[in-house]
Amino acid sequence: MKMKTLAAMALGATMAAAPAMAELVIPDLSYRTGPYAAGGAPFSDGYQDYFALLNARDGGIGGEPVRIVECETGYNTEKGVECYESTKGEGALIYQPLSTGITYQLIPKATADQIPIHTMGYGRTSAANGEVFNWVFNYPANYWDAASVAVNYLLEENSGDLSGKKIALVYHNSAYGKEPIRTLEALSEMHGFELSQLAVDHPGQEQKSQWLQIRRERPDYVLMWGWGVMNQVAVQEAANIGFPMENFIGNWWAGAEHDVTPAGEAANGYKSLNMNRVVDYPVLAEIQSLVHDAGNAAGDGSNLGSVLYVRGMYAAMLAAEAIAKAQEIHGVSDVTPAMVRDGMAALEITEARMAEMGMAGIGPEFAVSCQNHGGSGQGLVQQWNASAGVWEPLTDFISPDKSVIEPLIAEDSAAFASENNITPGCL
């Protein structure tokens, strides 16, 4: 008995002396409840499932397993900040808030804590200026890009001339919904179209007055910056007043399956932007086999391959590639948040690499730099085919008008730097 006790003590001492297995900790500020859950849940499923795939197939990233720490925000800014505060101490490497409101609150906090934030196609647009926002990245595109892509598409549809046209913006009355306004105002002056703005209050279930105004004013086109239940209601209200769906274009957060299916055939022809292609990627079969069939899916498995599931997976891929780049730059596998920031600032996504990962063409090629944290800014236009129940791409990736957007980014980021005593520069 004494010998066994001594052996056990020796084994315990050896285990205590051995280094603990490192983990790459990635929080998921999710929202699976409330009026925005229909968008939050599939994104979160795709985000988590991709990291689960890397763990199952590759042993993690660079030999280090990934541990997801999920925290429910309900798309509530205060809860989002609480989630950040409660998870950052676990060794969080990167945050994806999936909320413009939460992002605005986290920018100063994460900057002070030196933890990078990735706001993929949302958040504060001027964070594309990496010399002011050293710790914030919004590649592959931002909201001002989206506004310009939509207008460039409409220019193409109208032989390059929008003069005299009426365009209405229906937007979520929040920091998110207000983001494209200044860009659309600048583009209105440049191209001679009349812009009207119709705010929709949270959560967006009541829109009759806005759509009655649209029926009276009869704009040629309606653009929408919506999210959650607001999108479903808007599509139905547009159908109710007989607005032509082919002239109704949502941004890339207003173009998922759940936005259109409640309206049935009435939603046919509705258009939206997308920052990523949605096809039957080989990586989805790997996730099915190695994650879902193994009982490790983040959700119930029903979202696999949907628009926002694929976008969540895309976001996870970009985070994983940045972590791998950080490991390469610093020569270590157990990276810190500061090292991950370096990886994000040096990230390059090529066609060859996307194909190698089983998601060829999921997004445009882009390279990040100290100065440009915003990526290519490109987006495509897709259209809902109600009878087939699928989104069909109408265009390839369209570039935004950088001559309009870059001065706006410079102006806004300079104001932020002045207000916060920031001296612009590279880390």
- Domain assignment present for residue 316? The answer is yes
Orientation angle between helical segments 77-87 and 100-113, nearest 10 degrees: 30
Shared domain check, 249 and 387:
yes
For 130, the domain range is 21-142+278-379
Shared domain check, 131 and 52:
yes
Question: Which of 141, 117, 115 is CA-nearest to residue 128?
Answer: 141
CA distance 248 to 272: 8
Shared domain check, 177 and 113:
no
Shared domain check, 398 and 250:
yes
Shared domain check, 307 and 207:
no
> Beta strand 390-393 with 380-385: parallel, antiparallel or unpaired?
antiparallel
- Domain assignment present for residue 246? The answer is yes
In this structure, what CATH number is given to the domain that contains residue 290?
A: 3.40.50.2300
CA distance 230 to 413: 30
- Domain assignment present for residue 425? The answer is no
Q: Is the pLDDT of residue 67 over 90?
A: yes
Beta bridge partners of 382: 272, 393
- Domain assignment present for residue 308? The answer is yes
Shared domain check, 162 and 73:
no
> E strands along 177-297, which residues?
194-200, 221-225, 248-250, 271-274
Predicted pLDDT at 21: 61
The b-or-e profile of 270-297 (16+ CB within 10 A means b, else e) is: bbbbbbbbbeebebbebbbebbbeeeeb
- Domain assignment present for residue 421? The answer is no
Confidence of residue 22 (pLDDT cuts 50, 70, 90): confident
CB atoms within 10 A of CB 120: 26
Q: Taking the model in full, what pTM does it have? A: 0.94
- Domain assignment present for residue 14? The answer is no
Shared domain check, 136 and 26:
yes
CA distance 48 to 55: 11
CA distance 98 to 201: 19
The string of pLDDT tens digits covering residues 343-368 is 999 999 999 999 999 999 999 999 99
The domain total for the chain is 2
- Domain assignment present for residue 289? The answer is yes
Shared domain check, 360 and 290:
yes
The string of pLDDT tens digits covering residues 166-195 is 999 999 999 999 999 999 999 999 999 999
Shared domain check, 202 and 347:
no
Shared domain check, 322 and 306:
yes
* Interval 131-155 mean pLDDT: 98
- Domain assignment present for residue 418? The answer is no
